[in-house]
Structure 1
Amino acid sequence: MKRKYNYFLLWSLHFFLFPVFGQQVTLHQQFNGRFDYTFIGNTMNTEENRGLGNSPCIINTTSSATLALQPDDTLEKAYLYWAGSGPGDFNVKLNDIDIVPDRTFNITQLSSGLVFFSAFKDITEQVLNTGNGTYTLSELDLSAIIPTYCPNATNFAGWAIIIVYQNDNLPINQLNIYDGLDYIGGGNLFLNFSLSSLNVIDNVGANIGFIAWEGDSNLAVNETLRINGNILSNPPLNPANNAFNGTNSITGSNDLYNMDLDIYEIQNFIQPGNQTAEIALTSGQDFVMINAVVTKLNSQVPDATIVIDDYLLTCDSREITVDYTVFNLESTNPLPANTPIAIYANGILIGTTATVGVIEVNESESNSITLQIPSEIPSLFELTISVDDIGNGTGIVNEIIENNNSNSVEISLIFSPEFNVLEPISVCNEGFGIGTFDLTIIENVVLIDFSHTISFHPTLSDAEMNLNEIIDVNNYQTTNGTNVFIRIENEFCFSITSLELLTNNCPPTVYNFISANEDGFNDYFFIDGLRDIFLNFQIEIYNRWGYLIWKGNQNTEDWRGEVTEDVKWNGDISADGTYFYLLFLNDPDYPKPLQGFLYITR
């Protein structure tokens, strides 16, 4: 707010007691590389405000400015800001193209209730399409608003474009663009704010630019602009006591009424290593709003980042192989070869390595490392890989950003399924050592975790390769002493165990009735579970008087009532009646003969 103390002194003091609220100036965008910037813009005011009650109450709705980048300059970004008195006109045109803001800002002077605004639009595509030439902002119409603001000389409107461009002949710079809408009021009021995310490597050529509104050349009462406590000035255009005086540092103009596009050299006011800069404004009379700040710092440094691409786990092993990539993106200098890399498990250092070659700007390098996870680390742990780290969190490379050097992933070591050891199972010998086994009963015995799956295989190799799975597990036939191999799988690993299958010579069953009439039923002395099982058996048949009448073995046919020994009557056929048998199995499990009687009828 502009004031002359010889007018309305008490009213002016009343104004000094009330604050003005705005939006803090903060970092909007950062550029690293061979970049520089410039401003273009213009005011809508026809002349400078001259003080309370004396300001012209006329304002334009259109004005123009010229962009003239050099042939080797390549546009990177273009940001349009416009501002003025009142709650805001947010529908304007630039070269007859409708502009609707991406963001808006407002402040209110509580003592008067008057409000002010600014707006922001990314117009990069439009400027790329238009190129050099005249840019005209139109339809910024505050005609109905400014009569309210003219009595206290705060009527204004204007616009500016921040142009960021790239040129291969430029040094490596870091550009930071900050914006918001903050203020300085007058009297003893002052404004302080910090510019963060700086990375001062070399202060040569460093500068700072401002887009400010509502400054007047005729008001120079304790009006200072400081960085890190040092007053900035560009005399005669910007005297030390009148920083915001309607000037344009790029064109040298001093008729940019009620706005400033100023750039100051600051290489003597910052030091290598600085990460912030403190901005301080004072004004004993003038009301000034800061809308945008641009810093340019020489910043030829890399920025190492790292990503875990993949990792390989081996079952039942604490050894893992990690694939990773080191990047040097958004940087301004190559990353040196042999930049250290540290690997941590749950924060414990478990390995170190280094980059191999120089990583150029916007390039990367991929590699692998095999690690042995110590036994004290649990099977579920966080793996962290950190570049530019000598093993204790300390780096040796000066970088643009120092806190983006690590990448973590949760890893769970994998182990083969546990299982119960199986005892051999046996079934009755069905002949020549062959038995039929129901393998389905094994699942409940062998599994510890029933979410695991099992399959049966005839050989160890088949089980390892998961081939030739036994399908008919309910009726699996094999010979005595055969091993069947069981594959047990979880999500990642498998285990193999074996089961011995045995066949036993079960006691034979004697059917002791013979109807030797050749009718197809009970025509011979049948003993189930004998032939092809007890291969050395011998059987003897005796009549009721104890005489041996027949004997047989594995190689003879079953007895049909014939008499083959020396005791004979009625020829070779035995008579109806009761007979006795002795069955010698000749098996270690059956040392005594089986004996009993049988009946024969014809």
Structure 2
Amino acid sequence: MKNVKLILYFTLFGATIPLLAQDVSLFQQFNGRYDYVAIGNTLNTVENGLGGPCSILTSSSADLSLNAGQNVTAAYLYWAGSGSGDFDIAINGVPISAERTFSDALDATRIFFAAFADVTDIITTQGSGTYTISDFDLTGVISPYCPTGTNFGGWAITIIYEDASLPLNQLNIYDGLQSVPTFLSITLNNLNVLDNEDAKIGFIAWEGDRALAVNEQLTINGNVISNLPLNPANNAFNGTNSFTGATDLYNMDIDVYNIQNNINIGDTSATITLTSGQDYVMINNIITVLNSQLPDATITVDDYIVNCGDNSIELFYTVNNFNSTAVLPANTPIAFYLDGLLIGQSLTVNDIAIGASESNSIMVTIPDDADPNLTIIASVDDNGIMEGTVTESNEDNNINFVDIELLIVPDIVTLPRLIGCNEGFETSTYNLFDVLEGFDYTEEDITFYTTLEDLETESNAILIPTSYNNSSHPETIYVRLESPPCYEIFQFNLTTENCPPYVPDGFSPNDDSRNDWFNIQGLYNIFTEHELQIYNRYGEIIFEGNNDKPWYGVINRGLNNHGETVPVGTYFYILNLNDSNYRPMVGWVYVNY
């Protein structure tokens, strides 16, 4: 049969005092092989009413009988009465304090209360047996209520159990405190009934009187329902317990109705209406049990990875099928949104069993103009246009929010250039750390790169930054300074300049491979346009050279001795660097063999 979606939302309308009453709303949902039973008892000794005794008990008991295979999942205690409230009571001698409270009023002086406590641990531990509520004392409260027959007190425990023999059901518990007279309508929306067999609805109600049966009806989808002989169609709230058959729960009701003939397969909504022409009844708890076989997809973003200066985020997520009664199929779509913009899509990979999960990850890219402080929405069962493709038991729990801060790299800071002496062809040797003079850093936090891309990917770092030779002129160097959780970027240029050459005092052209030529340091391949002239002691030019023609002590000018080596002696040189920053250099050089 077709998978279906059951109770999710409902609206309520009633004639109550709005400042006090709390609308009945969905409190808890159970999906699986679940059903429930309820026990409870009144503190009234007789039904209240005009002329009745103005007395009330401070304790009462009820018996719980669970069958083999019925394993308690949850147990919720409700208690109520006249007045502003007694919120500290005991169950089988164990002190209980109210975890939630409710209130309602008939008029300005007749106010009523109800309270709630989770007693799952107590019921699970003690199991079947007698349960006694004590220390529930309204004896000093009820006197003003007795003349109008509105004095009451009572308690009830709703026990949800799991049983492997049951069909797959969805059990919904709604609670609050709303009163009837004269009219209360509850609309259950988003139904998609799979099977109406054994469908039922139950109530915990307070202050109903058996003796009052004026226009008192309970209808579902316009059909009057009853539960004979306990709950006739004209007196729904008459002090009975449908589970035990008790008829002496004065001024309270624990009722359950079979509604399989009043709700149809394929129904998408149901309306419950309660009317009472005279009897003042307060609804505290409503439970529905309908057959259901549906998955329930939820998603959590478990973690994420954000890299410095990168708009790509890796999201790690888990899709769950916890509160479900059917497998969540593979290829269930997942969408990721930022400010309503779809930024990523994925699919579940495998069928996800009841109560199971599947984890995965996805890379999403954030728009460049997005605020760095952002909230990503992960949405399961979402085809990318905010539409689901799988019918679920709960369509309102498909999203998860995660707040993320992008790691923004500060703007690049330009540092002063490093200048090196030209060692030839506009190259030089640099200690790159010199550019960071005045910075507070450790060398382990600094890395140098020749491209910004390499810096961002931490690739091809300069291996020996203390002795680096530039490869172009000028050359831009990028500096990465680790500054957790991110880093800073600096850049600077390497430039060269022609430094003054050093002229030696002499040389010995004797072919011993040591000092065989007039080696002027910092000249060749640096001052590439230079001119060198050598004169003998008589003032005669004997050699002219340039960047391609150094002097090895051989004569190449004059009338005689071309190609011969000069004799030992002192010679005069004129070095014209042909550089506007320098004047010609002159001096003496000694040649020896």
Which of 220, 227, 232 is the matching residue for 1:227? 220
Task: State the partner residue of 1:46.
Answer: 45
Matching of residue 456 in structure 1 with residue 448 in structure 2: yes
Distance 1:62 1:422 in 2: 85
Whether contact under 8 Å (2:72, 2:159) holds in the other structure is yes
Task: State the partner residue of 1:97.
Answer: 94
Distance 1:20 1:284 in 2: 23
Relative to structure 1, the CA distance from residue 341 to residue 108 in structure 2 (aligned partners, 3 Å threshold; closer, same or farther) is closer
Task: State the partner residue of 2:353.
Answer: 360
| Matched letter for residue 329 of structure 2 | P
Task: State the partner residue of 2:55.
Answer: 58
Matching of residue 155 in structure 1 with residue 151 in structure 2: yes
Task: State the partner residue of 1:405.
Answer: 398
Task: State the partner residue of 1:85.
Answer: 82
Whether contact under 8 Å (1:416, 1:489) holds in the other structure is no
Distance 1:159 1:94 in 2: 11
**Once structures 1 and 2 are overlaid, which stretch shifts more, 268-277 or 236-245?**
268-277
Cα distance, 1:297 vs structure 2: 1.7
Task: State the partner residue of 1:120.
Answer: 116
Matching of residue 337 in structure 1 with residue 334 in structure 2: no
Task: State the partner residue of 2:241.
Answer: 248
Task: State the partner residue of 1:33.
Answer: 32
| Matched letter for residue 321 of structure 2 | N
Cα distance, 1:41 vs structure 2: 0.8
Distance 2:452 2:180 in 1: 85
Task: State the partner residue of 1:292.
Answer: 285
Whether contact under 8 Å (2:500, 2:522) holds in the other structure is no
Matching of residue 581 in structure 1 with residue 580 in structure 2: no
Post-superposition Cα deviations, 1:473-530, rounded to whole Å, max 9, x if no partner, equal xxx575997997734448779999996765646466899xxxxxxxxxxxxxxxx993
Task: State the partner residue of 1:269.
Answer: 262
Relative to structure 1, the CA distance from residue 123 to residue 456 in structure 2 (aligned partners, 3 Å threshold; closer, same or farther) is closer
Distance 1:20 1:288 in 2: 18
Distance 2:312 2:194 in 1: 42
Relative to structure 1, the CA distance from residue 334 to residue 461 in structure 2 (aligned partners, 3 Å threshold; closer, same or farther) is closer
Whether contact under 8 Å (1:198, 1:274) holds in the other structure is yes
Distance 1:389 1:479 in 2: 55
Cα distance, 1:385 vs structure 2: 5.1
Distance 1:460 1:180 in 2: 63
Aligned-partner SS, 1:289? strand
Aligned-partner SS, 2:573? strand
Decide which structure has the larger Cα Rg and report it: 1
Aligned-partner SS, 1:71? coil
Relative to structure 1, the CA distance from residue 96 to residue 314 in structure 2 (aligned partners, 3 Å threshold; closer, same or farther) is closer
Post-superposition Cα deviations, 1:441-488, rounded to whole Å, max 9, x if no partner, equal 8789xxxxxxxx97436999997546565555xxx5759979977344
Aligned-partner SS, 2:572? strand
Distance 1:109 1:415 in 2: 62
Which of 184, 192, 197 is the matching residue for 2:185? 192
Whether contact under 8 Å (1:215, 1:287) holds in the other structure is yes
Relative to structure 1, the CA distance from residue 338 to residue 215 in structure 2 (aligned partners, 3 Å threshold; closer, same or farther) is same
Distance 2:579 2:150 in 1: 118
**Once structures 1 and 2 are overlaid, which stretch shifts more, 314-323 or 78-87?**
314-323
**What is the correspondence of 1:190-589 to structure 2 with a 5 Å cutoff?**
190-194=183-187, 200-271=193-264, 277-309=270-302, 323-342=316-335, 347=340, 353-368=346-361, 386-407=379-400, 427-429=420-422, 435=428, 437=430, 439=432, 455-456=447-448, 465=459, 470=464, 472=466, 478=469, 486-489=477-480, 502=496, 504=498, 506=500, 530-531=520-521, 533-534=523-524, 540=534, 546=539, 581-584=572-575
Distance 2:335 2:56 in 1: 63
Distance 2:230 2:479 in 1: 85
| Matched letter for residue 302 of structure 1 | P
Distance 2:75 2:349 in 1: 39
Aligned-partner SS, 1:48? coil
| Matched letter for residue 42 of structure 1 | N
Task: State the partner residue of 2:171.
Answer: 175
* Runs (5+) with no aligned partner, structure 2: 1-14, 438-444, 506-517, 554-567, 589-593
Whether contact under 8 Å (1:454, 1:487) holds in the other structure is no
Whether contact under 8 Å (2:321, 2:327) holds in the other structure is yes
Distance 2:286 2:138 in 1: 25
Aligned-partner SS, 2:143? helix
Aligned-partner SS, 2:355? coil
Relative to structure 1, the CA distance from residue 382 to residue 191 in structure 2 (aligned partners, 3 Å threshold; closer, same or farther) is closer
* Runs (5+) with no aligned partner, structure 1: 1-15, 445-452, 512-527, 557-571, 575-579
Distance 2:261 2:464 in 1: 84
Aligned-partner SS, 1:83? strand
Number of residue-to-residue matches in the alignment: 532
Distance 1:273 1:387 in 2: 25
Cα distance, 1:276 vs structure 2: 5.6
Distance 1:61 1:355 in 2: 56
Distance 1:462 1:377 in 2: 24
Relative to structure 1, the CA distance from residue 55 to residue 502 in structure 2 (aligned partners, 3 Å threshold; closer, same or farther) is same
Task: State the partner residue of 1:515.
Answer: none
Distance 2:86 2:451 in 1: 84
Whether contact under 8 Å (2:226, 2:232) holds in the other structure is yes
**Percent same amino acid among aligned pairs?**
45
Distance 1:408 1:107 in 2: 37
Distance 1:209 1:480 in 2: 86
Relative to structure 1, the CA distance from residue 71 to residue 505 in structure 2 (aligned partners, 3 Å threshold; closer, same or farther) is same
Task: State the partner residue of 2:8.
Answer: none
Cα distance, 1:71 vs structure 2: 1.9
Distance 1:315 1:225 in 2: 64
| Matched letter for residue 38 of structure 2 | F
Relative to structure 1, the CA distance from residue 493 to residue 126 in structure 2 (aligned partners, 3 Å threshold; closer, same or farther) is same
Post-superposition Cα deviations, 1:310-346, rounded to whole Å, max 9, x if no partner, equal 6678999998766543221211211122333456676
Cα distance, 1:22 vs structure 2: 2.7
Whether contact under 8 Å (1:33, 1:174) holds in the other structure is yes
What's the TM-score, normalizing by structure 1? 0.71
Matching of residue 74 in structure 1 with residue 63 in structure 2: no
| Matched letter for residue 125 of structure 1 | D
Cα distance, 1:181 vs structure 2: 2.1
